[in-house]
Amino acid sequence: MPPYLLIPLIILAACLLLFLLYVLSVAPGKRRAEMRPFFDWHYAHRGLHGEGLPENSLAAFEAAAAAGYGIELDVQLSRDGVAMVFHDATLSRVCGIDGKLADYTVAELQAMPLCGMRAHTIPTLAEVLRVVDGRVPLLVEIKGYRDIAPVCEAAVALLDAYKGPYLIESFTPYVVHWFKKNRPAVLRGQLSSHLFRKGKRNLGNLLVESLCTNFIARPDFIAFCFADRHLPSYRLARGLYGAWSLAWTVKSEQDERESAGFDDIIFEGYLPETKEKKA
C-alpha cells in the first residue's frame, strides 16, 4: 500500500468505529410489553391547565383525570426534602417570587399562590397521588437540578405505595439510570430535544440531545420534542431500534396529525380526543 494512503485509511477506519459506537450507544432498553397500555392515553402537560386553572395544580390534575387524560407532571425537592410538583427551577414565572424552589420549605411553598390565584398553591407529590388515585396514568418527570439520589428516593417512597399506573422520565440520564439500577421494574424514559438550538450549549446537553447516554440508562421509551423529531438521534432510536416514543409538547390538531410517527402525545392548549372517544 502506498504510504500516502495509510493516514486517510486510518482516519476513515476511526470515523467508522466512532459511528458504530454511537449507533450502539443510542440503543434503548429491550421493548417491554408493559409499556403498551400507556399508549391508550394522551397526556395533559402539567395537567389540564388554563381558564383559571394554573399548571401543575391540584385543580388542573383533577380536571385532566375527570376528562379522561393521562397526566404529565414535574417533581423536585423543597429545602426540607419534600417531593413537590413544580416545573421551573425558579419561582419567578409562576409565583412571582425570587429564588429557587429548593430554597424554600414545604410550608413556605404551600403559602405561595400559583399564577396569582390564591386558591391554588404548589402541591406535594403525595397530594397529587391522593387526588388522581389511580384513575389515569401518570408521567412523572424527575428534575435533576442537584444530587439526583435525594429526589429519586423521595419520589419512590411515595410511588412504591401508589396503586395507580405511572411512568418515570427525566432529561438527566443519571435519573433514568438510578431507576434502572434501583427500581428496574419501573418503566422509565429519556427526555430529549434540540438543546443546543435553545442556547444550552454544553457537553452534557449535547450528549442528551444525541441520545448516546442511552447506553447508561437503557430507557424503555423516548420522550422527544415534537418540533425536533427530524433530528438524527430520534430517527435512529425510533427507526433502527423501534423505541417506544412520546411527542412533547403537541399544541394543536395539526401538530397531532404530524406526530403520527410517535406512539402517543403530551399536549397542551387544545383538547385531543380521549381514549373513550377514539374507541
Cβ–Cβ under 8 Å, residues 80 and 101: no
Q: Which three cell numbers stand for residue 80?
A: 426540607
Strand partners, 267: 44, 250
| 1, amino acid identity | M
What does the alpha-carbon distance between residue 78 and residue 141 come to, in Å, rounded to a whole number?
16
Q: What is the pTM of this model?
A: 0.93
How many Å is the Cα radius of gyration of the chain?
20
Taken in order of first residue, the domains within the chain and their CATH numbers are 32-278 (3.20.20.190)
What does the alpha-carbon distance between residue 247 and residue 167 come to, in Å, rounded to a whole number?
15
Distances (CA, A) of 219 to 178, 213, 216, 225: 11, 10, 9, 16
Q: What is the pLDDT along the chain (279 residues), one digit of tens a residue?
A: 677 678 888 888 899 999 999 999 999 999 999 999 999 999 999 999 998 999 999 999 999 999 999 999 999 999 999 999 999 999 999 999 999 999 999 999 999 999 999 999 999 999 999 999 999 999 999 998 778 999 999 999 999 999 999 999 999 999 999 999 999 999 999 999 998 766 667 888 899 999 999 999 999 999 999 999 999 999 999 999 999 999 999 999 999 999 999 999 999 999 999 865 454
What does the alpha-carbon distance between residue 275 and residue 279 come to, in Å, rounded to a whole number?
6
Cβ–Cβ under 8 Å, residues 174 and 204: no
Return the residue matching grid coordinates 438524527: 232
Q: Is 244 left (phi over 0), alpha (psi -120 to 50) or beta?
A: beta
Q: Dihedral of CA 86/144/181/264: which sign?
A: positive
